[in-house]
Structure 1
């Protein structure tokens, strides 16, 4: 399970009051950093799957998913996520902000190992298919917000509550050993889409113009969440063929 996007900004900043040039520069930097984060994620996964021997990878994935180990992995991921957020969004140096973004990308790369390994066992084409679907969906949602220029800051509290409910269901599924199924994955895709709309709106209206690292981290968290559940859906449909 990817995280419930704890990086979304909930405060009001001054992007909307900035000059057109400052706003354009901020948005450009945000999406450049998002592209860099996605590139780093893909590169890390490529290295892990091509440099780690297959037997070692299988053993690692098996250990991550065995018993309550997955709960420990999720717990460690949440701690790392909080640390990365504090570095990226705090008033720390630019280097610390980049360290937060990098740390989060590395954490996502690790937590994605089991699902990508299983997906590739079903078909090597599944990750690429899910990636394309994710990017197309993200692009469409982004264009919609930029064209309408709508302020969706009000969605934050509802997305937060939905994320808590989803986390509770995931925890119960791990503890009691039941499968949440395709319907849950579909609902989570919708939730991830909501986060993307919300984060994109915040990029346009509610960040300071010097917070492009934090903004890119928020967007990357939402894209990773979307990719996780699109991947689950593609795996489910591929397994039924």
Structure 2
């Protein structure tokens, strides 16, 4: 009878020394900053490719937008699963890269709309959205890092909230109604809860070698917040 191979155990960050925890946090936020920088660079490249820009904008109508949204969810869910279930650094980096590129693609229509609002107002709106997003993200992250409170109880609340939001988005596309300002405000609240949850995961859940996976979770929440803050500022 063959002996069963024992799976290696990975101690979580909360069990490590203060020095190792601080090192993990630094690596995580460094990778988050690099992911944001990569997002900006990829977005700039996408906007320099007319065929890709035209294709992305053509997917914003009706059921095509649902297909684009569905494809985005499949890709990002796959990337998140790859990052969370692997202790292989190469696979974690591949997952983060995949997620960043997917985010850059789905952001094309929203950024294009923001830049078209006024002749010179587009960049101003993008800058305002970026500043507001980073300010709120920093404040929420600080709450978790300073209090070390476990926000894992938000998981079920967030799941229900995202399920309802997805249903409203699908209904809005199928029946042709605008979800309006209050939906975007509600999504900002939901994204804020997601930031608390993901930062809490970074503090309590991940192991020492999963700083890339932790940065992916934070990046996902950050971009969700940026999307809806930008949506609010881009309203006529």
TM-score by length of 2: 0.90
Cα RMSD for the two superposed structures: 1.6
Matched residue, 1:153: 152
Query: Bigger radius of gyration, 1 or 2?
Result: 2
Q: Using the TM superposition, give the Cα deviation of residue 86 of structure 1 relative to its aligned residue in structure 2, in angstroms.
A: 2.6
Matched residue, 2:70: 75
Matched residue, 2:36: 38
Q: Using the TM superposition, give the Cα deviation of residue 58 of structure 1 relative to its aligned residue in structure 2, in angstroms.
A: 6.0
Report the count of equivalent residues.
Answer: 223
CA deviations 1:151-194 (Å, max 9, x no partner) are 11111111111111111111111111110000010010011000
CA deviations 1:38-61 (Å, max 9, x no partner) are 110011112222x224xx466334
Q: Using the TM superposition, give the Cα deviation of residue 220 of structure 1 relative to its aligned residue in structure 2, in angstroms.
A: 0.4
Q: Using the TM superposition, give the Cα deviation of residue 62 of structure 1 relative to its aligned residue in structure 2, in angstroms.
A: 3.5
Contact 1:142–1:196, Cα closer than 8 Å, also in 2: yes
Counterparts of 1:86-165 in structure 2, within 5 Å, are: 86-91=81-86, 93-122=88-117, 123-124=121-122, 125-165=124-164
Partner SS, residue 65 of structure 1: coil
Partner SS, residue 15 of structure 2: coil
Give ranges in structure 2 of 5+ residues lacking alignment. Answer: 1-9
Alpha carbons of structure 1 residues 37 and 21: separation in structure 2 relative to 1, 3 Å: same
Alpha carbons of structure 1 residues 193 and 13: separation in structure 2 relative to 1, 3 Å: farther
TM-score by length of 1: 0.88
Give ranges in structure 1 of 5+ residues lacking alignment. Answer: 1-11
